[in-house]
Amino acid sequence: MTSFGFKFDNTYLQLPKVFYTKLLPAPVPKPEMVILNTPLATDLGLNFSDISTDEQAVLFAGNQMPEEAEPFAQAYAGHQFGHFTMLGDGRAIVWGEHITPTGQRFDLQFKGSGPTPYSRGGDGRAAIGPMLREYIISEAMHALNIPTTRSLAVVTNGGQVYRETPLPGAILTRVASSHIRVGTFQFAALHRDREVIKSLLDYTIKRHSPHIEEKQNKSLSLLKSVIEKQAELIAHWMRVGFVHGVMNTDNMALSGETIDYGPCAFMDAYDPETVFSSIDHMGRYAYANQPAIAQWNLARFAETLLPLLDDDAEKAKEIAEEAINGFGAVYKEKSLSMLRAKVGLFGEQAEDEGLITDLLDWMHRQNADYTNTFLDLTSEAPPKGKLYEGDTFKEWHARWQVRLAKNTEPLESSLSLMRSNNPVVIPRNHKVEQVLDAATNGDLQPLKDFIAALQEPYKNSSYLKPYQSPPKPEETVCQTFCGT
């Protein structure tokens, strides 16, 4: 097989053997290409243009792995909806780590590539809809400047998977800074062997935060760094109205990337209680709960580090608690800074938080669309339309003008700050469902057009119109499904 530019350096296999199982993807009968992310391939230093789409399909189905790949499934555990479980890659296989021409290291990973020792009775497979959903949303998140895993390719496997109905089976090739999860640390901690957890700590630091190697308390430095990255990530999600849907500890990556897109979706009308996932009956992972859940997950991470934080168990607990209690302030600062940017505020004034909260409360009461309301504010003239005619909005608008006048920067800078923080287009759930429906029935054009429209979400253009409207009542999609 030609090399395509692959340059593997598979360091994860240097961890103790408990962390993985080497195995090959299960071959599939008749793979067919659905989509290849050529710009991403180019960024990774990969080129598949010399082979036919049939040969590409063989590669991205795992029927023939690149020579230097050393495929394996990862072991991990995790709290799912608050309950601790042993997990692991039940339907995923990491090819290995690819080094890009600029020296960046990425895991390449299949999702839907067949059973593994961690499948727990599952079929190890995935249906086309959820794999394309991950492709669409992860690529949209990347374009929105939000840390995320990426999607390189989707193939159908020629077979069917059986969920509520038979569906075409598919495999996604995912690209991630790593697949180290809070759940990977939870798995390590279960061994009650200092060397096991220490090996994972050292590996994670080397891979994600090499500057920490010199620090005196490395585990505390890693904890603080992960807290910082997660606070930033969640603030971004909130900024664009993203609801992850399954923030289990196994779905939180230490790299700070959004990972494991399941029943995730973007909110249309602003409502802090928004929940999409059909399995989230209690609203545990509702939009407004995401920061608190992130903190809860980080506390589970901190617990795994206790033996390393200090030799004195009481002291270790104190250190962990102090770091975790710090999440709120870190998150608040990042969130406020992103929200200030959404309304074009420079500098910090005492009234900023109240001004922003009042806008959000008004949006909630009016059932206003989150994305489009911020977009309507992103222009010199006051926003037009029925929504903005009431006195409450007019009073808020006047307060906002007074605050804008305190900016140290000219109005043009405010508008450009707003334009780079308020997307003109997001992958609205009803559109996602429409294109997935068409794709599942063999029509890929709406999917490809949609993905193209999501490429530059901060640049307004008339061709984005069909993607900008909130759903009509008959188009509203209230629930999304895990699709495992």
Note the residue count of the chain.
484
Q: Which is nearer to ligand AMP, 5 or 90 (CB)?
A: 90
119 touches ligand AMP (CB under 6 A): yes
- Please identify which residue in 43, 123, 271, 409 interacts with ligand AMP, judged by CB under 6 A: 123
Query: By C-alpha distance, which of 96, 102, 126 is closest to 34?
Result: 126
DSSP string, 15-41: S-GGGEEE-PPPP-SS-EEEEE-HHHH
- Please identify which residue in 97, 260, 310, 352 interacts with Mg ion, judged by CB under 5 A: 260
Within positions 188 to 247, which residues make up the interface with ligand AMP, using CB under 6 A?
A: 246
369 touches ligand AMP (CB under 6 A): no
3-state secondary structure of 146: coil
178 touches ligand AMP (CB under 6 A): no
Q: Which is nearer to ligand AMP, 15 or 264 (CB)?
A: 264
89 touches Mg ion (CB under 5 A): no
Burial 387-396 (b: 16+ CB within 10 A, else e): bbeeeebeeb
- From Mg ion, ligand AMP, none, which one binds at residue 125 (CB under 5 to 8 Å depending on kind)? ligand AMP
Q: Which two tokens stand for residue 265?
A: 């979706």
Cβ-based neighbours of 462, under 8 Å, separated by 6 or more: none
Query: By C-alpha distance, which of 35, 40, 37 is closest to 57?
Result: 35
251 touches Mg ion (CB under 5 A): yes
82 touches ligand AMP (CB under 6 A): no
Is 376 a known active-site residue? no
CB atoms < 10 A from the CB of 226, how many?
Answer: 26
Query: By C-alpha distance, which of 260, 266, 268 is closest to 134?
Result: 260
- From Mg ion, ligand AMP, none, which one binds at residue 82 (CB under 5 to 8 Å depending on kind)? none
Cβ-based neighbours of 32, under 8 Å, separated by 6 or more: 53, 54, 57, 155, 156, 158
Q: Which stretch binds Mg ion (CB under 5 A): 36-44, 222-230, 249-257, 411-419?
A: 249-257
134 touches Mg ion (CB under 5 A): no
- From Mg ion, ligand AMP, none, which one binds at residue 239 (CB under 5 to 8 Å depending on kind)? none
| 97-99-103 Cα angle (round to 5) | 140
The whole-angstrom separation of Cα 361 and Cα 286 is 17
- Of the residues 43, 123, 193, 250, only one is catalytic, namely 250
Q: Which is nearer to ligand AMP, 74 or 422 (CB)?
A: 74
CB of 53 to Mg ion, least distance (A): 30
CB of 182 to ligand AMP, least distance (A): 12
The whole-angstrom separation of Cα 291 and Cα 285 is 10
Angle, helix 218-240 to helix 290-309, in steps of 10 degrees:
170
66 touches ligand AMP (CB under 6 A): no
CB of 186 to ligand AMP, least distance (A): 12
280 touches ligand AMP (CB under 6 A): no
- Please identify which residue in 139, 232, 260, 280 interacts with ligand AMP, judged by CB under 6 A: 260
Q: Which is nearer to Mg ion, 239 or 300 (CB)?
A: 300
Residues that bind Mg ion (CB under 5 A): 251, 260
Residues serving a catalytic function are 250
Question: By the criterion CB under 6 A, which residues form the site for ligand AMP?
Answer: 87-92, 119, 122-125, 246, 251, 260, 262, 482, 484
